[in-house]
Structure 1
Amino acid sequence: MNKNTPVTIKDIALVLNISVSTVSRALRGMPEIHPDTKNAILKLAEEMDYQPNQLAKNLVGNRTKTIGVIMPTLSYYFFSSMLNSIEEAAMQAGYSVIVCQTNESYLREKAQIQNMLNSQVEGFIISLACDSYDYEHINRLIRKQIPLVLFDRYTDKLEVSKVIVDNKQAAFKATSHLIENGCKKLSCLAGPPHLEISNQRLEGFKEALSSHGLLYDERYVSHSDFTQENTIIQANNMMSLAVPPDGILTMSDRIAFSTMYALKQKGIKIPEDVAMVSFNNEPTCMYLTPSLTSVNQPIREMGTQSVRLLLKQLESDKIEPETVILDTQLVIRESSLR
């Protein structure tokens, strides 16, 4: 059997030498099947990557014209704006969108992909959860030649199309801006250590220090899980160092907001004592006191490009991974001007 051909209940029945109706009843959870037989069927179905009602995309009459979108959260400006862009581009192409949020959970990410397959979506646009540590659930989609695009959060471990920004260069520019404004001892409040975009931004931070003749010190780098509580602890620990930083690069505006709160609680002035630069450029940035310097990402274009790459796969017999890397813009405000 061709590995790209969807597995059917007939295939399972043939391997186990039982009737198709028995396989069908077991997969539907019918009670009259012997437990040993049911367990054997379910185990083989998983091993063979059986997908109930798997969409044969070449059969036009079986098209659903639906895209599955999976995001870490919709409470962040970046992701909610991305969804708006994706929906608009999809609608113009005659597709509808089903969206789920993982709440940064690897297990929810796995479950939602399966649920969407059961709902017969034709392809996926996904931004990985921050605690995704294994990618077999994504590799299953790739093996099945199911159209897929990753955006923003991705991993180099997957051969898949993706739409991203040049995170390393953006962090380099942001860090250089802090140094050019007089910062000598810089710290970086990064995201989870296994998150690709966080690591790339950390690399940009390191290169900027080296480029300006400043030493990199691991004590001035901490990793946050994006929660307010954890960020405040990390910020307080950083400012408790014998020589506290006078410049901070944060991996996201949400981390920056919590950091600013922590600093103000300690009476530390921004930018006089500590200058700050962040990522995402949420609208709230301009209304803070001081207003927050942040890296703006081309969200609308990211959404449009994600849909374009997915549609290209849907219209092709062979999926060829492509990478779109977009530029960013540093929006300078009060928090970094010393």
Structure 2
Amino acid sequence: MPPALDNLRVVDFSRVLAGPFATMQLADLGAKVTKIERPETGDETRAWGPPHDEHGQATYYQAVNRNKDVLVLDLTDPDDRARARQLALAADVVVENFRPGLMTGFGLDYDQLKADNPGLVYCSITGFGRGAGAQLPGYDLLIQALGGLMSITGAPDGEPQKVGVAVVDVLAGLFATTGILAALHHRRSTGEGQRVDVDLLSSLLAGLVNQASAYTAGGVVPARMGNQHPSIAPYELLPCADGDLVLAVGNNRQFAALCEVLGVPRLATNPRFATNGARVRHRRELRTELTLLLATRTAAECTEALTSARVPAGVVNDIAGAFDLATRLGLDPIVHLPRPDGSTVSLCRNPINLSATPTAYRTAPPALPTKDT
């Protein structure tokens, strides 16, 4: 069968991460994506390295730009602007993440395009929306700081920490993809396109989920707790004889099984630990008990025994270990895409599995062509 988004035409003016991540999701699902890049430099992430692959290409760019064609256009040039407008008027979807107002100056904003392409779905990704924060720069690290994520990440007595990947951009890209697909569904029944607006700050606030509702619904301002969880215990990193063990005990059955494996079944009926609420209130005493019980055991030994008892437990993998685990579990986490020169590039597989219209991996992230080509 043809892919899910077969014949969908997307013009991608976005760069860096959030927008390209969204358009790659559409491309993986079958859309024809034409990425517009600047002459000579292209997308900024082409220069974001190390690391580079064996061909000298930045791995950052490659992470979010497979399955796309690239067209080099200078939007300050009248002829190139006319070409870009022609493409946008023939497209189903346009995605851009420029500073608000910039596309208006180029004649490529939603209002100027929809008159001639009323079915257009036009997605704008900004840092802080198109209102009072329109001119503020929207970088992931800045949003993690201003949006509260750093305030809840890190050790309680340490400095605020950013997450180890640009998670706000990824969240915004996923929200953008969802918005685009919803707008396309609306268009199918009405013929009408619409604007899809996604901003990084709102994406992060929505992505804070239970930490956000702790404030909005409970009046509680969450704080850094290291690897502990504000609402569940034990849900943290604990030391073993040879390293750390992750325990993610989410209910009373799992806690009783944990105690059984550790040889202290009575701990599960102790009033201080018998319920999750009690364990959260007495988390310090519980951690002391568990640390003593784990001190003579290896992390691997504990992981095997606890997993057999259906208690969520494991070790802290590095990235290589994580891909190795996914491979051993049969998840096929790496795809190999051909390049025009006959070489291949290996990238992370899209996690969406569709039984009738699966994701496809057609082309590697493209090299930057010259403007004339």
Shared fold (TM-score, shorter chain, > 0.5): no
TM-score bin (small chain): under 0.3
TM-score (norm 2): 0.26
Answer 1 or 2: which has greater helix percent: 1
